[in-house]
């Protein structure tokens, strides 16, 4: 992994069911707390690149829905669950260190 980690926020600032967005360079990263586990996805729908963060996060189903055309994605692995999106959203690494959440765009 060549990228540097980006600090998202304190772990205590992202409660279960909450989301936030950080940037790693030009990459928007959607960070979610699903039932105490933190996940990071590119904040860009795989259908037409709309911001996923504009849509609702279903913290029971672990899905986020793109508001543009209604595709849902599993926040744990980014896979598309229904049309019109078929390809997964890019998933990024997450770590919790020093009481804070970190992520990065690890594509070189």
Report the phi/psi class of residue 60: left, alpha or beta, with left for phi > 0 and alpha for psi in -120 to 50.
alpha
Is 44 one of the binding residues for ligand FES (CB under 6 A)?
no
**Binding span for ligand FES by CB under 6 A among 10-18, 25-33, 62-70, 88-96:** 62-70
Q: 67 to 86, contacts with ligand FES by CB under 6 A?
A: 68-69, 71, 84-85
Kindly state the smallest distance separating residue 105's Cβ from ligand FES, in Å.
20
Kindly state the smallest distance separating residue 79's Cβ from ligand FES, in Å.
14
- Please provide the size of the chain in residues: 108
Is 66 one of the binding residues for ligand FES (CB under 6 A)?
yes
Spatial distance between the Cα atoms of 2 and 53, rounded to a whole number of angstroms: 26
58-65 contacts, C-beta under 8 A, 24 or more apart: 59/16, 59/17, 59/34, 59/35, 62/34, 62/35, 64/19, 64/30, 64/32
Kindly state the smallest distance separating residue 47's Cβ from ligand FES, in Å.
3
Q: Which is nearer to ligand FES, 34 or 47 (CB)?
A: 47
42 alpha carbon, distance to own chain's centre: 6
By CB under 6 A, name the binding residues for ligand FES.
Answer: 45, 47-48, 50, 66, 68-69, 71, 84-85
């Amino acid at each position: 992994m060549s990228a540097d980690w980006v600090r998202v926020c304190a772990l205590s600032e992202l409660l279960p069911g909450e989301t936030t967005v950080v940037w790693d360079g030009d990459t928007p990263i959607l960070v979610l707390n699903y039932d105490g586990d933190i996940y990071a996805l590119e904040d860009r729908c795989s259908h037409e690149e709309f911001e996923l963060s504009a849509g609702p996060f279903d913290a029971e189903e672990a899905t986020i829905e793109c508001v543009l055309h209604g595709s849902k994605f599993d926040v744990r692995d980014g896979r598309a669950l229904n049309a019109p999106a078929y390809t997964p959203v890019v998933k990024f690494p997450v770590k919790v260190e020093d009481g804070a959440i970190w992520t990065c765009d690890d594509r070189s």
